[in-house]
């Protein structure tokens, strides 16, 4: 009986040494509060506004040409009117193509940035988990609801956000090793 109790006690000690340390983070909150995400969002907004401004300028210039044509169309021969209308239609198509190309460029760059941020966060959480002795760090969000219940003590979202923001280095302070993306001309 003593041997059985000693064996049971030894088994309990060994099993308690192998317990997993588990925590969870709210991924949406991490992304929302991460300075890298905020800076990327601002950068994409500024770029989008800049491209939009350039495209708006082209559209306004086109509208001026259309108005000039409309005012002068009564004085033009049928041949000249047809030629001018053809020119205006080609210019309108060119502007629409530029708009589509610019929109695709912004979407592609936005997707690339989202992937980079996701990877940065994932890599950081892995490092954070290892350095803090976590066996598992679960991610949850309002979409996935992978953690339906967890003690608040196991929620390390705020700790991860704080540590992630401390480790964040803005892109303009990082060494330039990235390849340049080709910009679509809008002029």
Torsion of CA 97, 99, 104, 107, to 10 degrees: -170
Collapsing DSSP states into helix, strand and coil, what is residue 128? helix
pTM above 0.75, yes or no: no
Helix and strand counts by DSSP (H, E) for the chain: 5, 2
What pLDDT does 176 receive? 63
Count of beta carbons in the 10 Å neighbourhood of residue 51 = 20
Q: Which long-range contacts (CB under 8 A, 24 or more apart) does 151-155 make?
A: 154/22, 154/23, 154/24, 155/23, 155/24, 155/25, 155/26
Domain layout of the chain by residue ranges: 19-172
- What DSSP line would sit under 31-70, residue for residue? HHH-HHHHHHHHHHHHHHHHHHHHHHHHHHHHHHHHHHHH
Strands (E), the chain: 22-26, 136-140
Whether the CB-CB separation of 128 and 160 falls below 8 Å is answered with yes
Kind plus residue range of the DSSP H or E element containing 74: none
Residues of the chain with pLDDT under 70: 1-18, 175-187
* Residues linked to residue 26 through DSSP beta bridges, in sequence order: 140
Per-chain mean pLDDT for the chain: 86
């Amino acid at each position: 009986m003593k041997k059985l109790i000693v064996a049971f006690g030894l088994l309990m000690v060994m099993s308690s040494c192998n317990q997993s340390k588990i925590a969870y983070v709210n991924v949406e909150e991490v992304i929302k509060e991460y300075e890298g995400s905020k800076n990327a969002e601002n950068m994409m907004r500024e770029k989008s506004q800049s491209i939009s401004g350039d495209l708006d300028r082209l559209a306004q210039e086109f509208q001026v040409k259309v108005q000039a044509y409309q005012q002068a169309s009564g004085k033009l021969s049928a041949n000249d009117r047809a030629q001018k209308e053809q020119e205006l239609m080609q210019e309108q198509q060119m502007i629409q193509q530029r708009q589509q190309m610019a929109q695709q460029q912004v979407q592609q760059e936005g997707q690339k940035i989202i992937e980079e941020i996701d990877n940065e966060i994932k890599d950081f959480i892995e490092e954070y988990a290892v350095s803090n002795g976590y066996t598992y760090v679960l991610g949850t969000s309002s979409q996935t609801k992978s953690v339906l219940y967890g003690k608040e003590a196991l929620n390390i979202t705020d700790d991860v956000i704080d540590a992630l923001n401390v480790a964040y280095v803005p892109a303009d302070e990082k060494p330039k090793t990235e390849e340049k993306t080709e910009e679509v001309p809008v002029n």
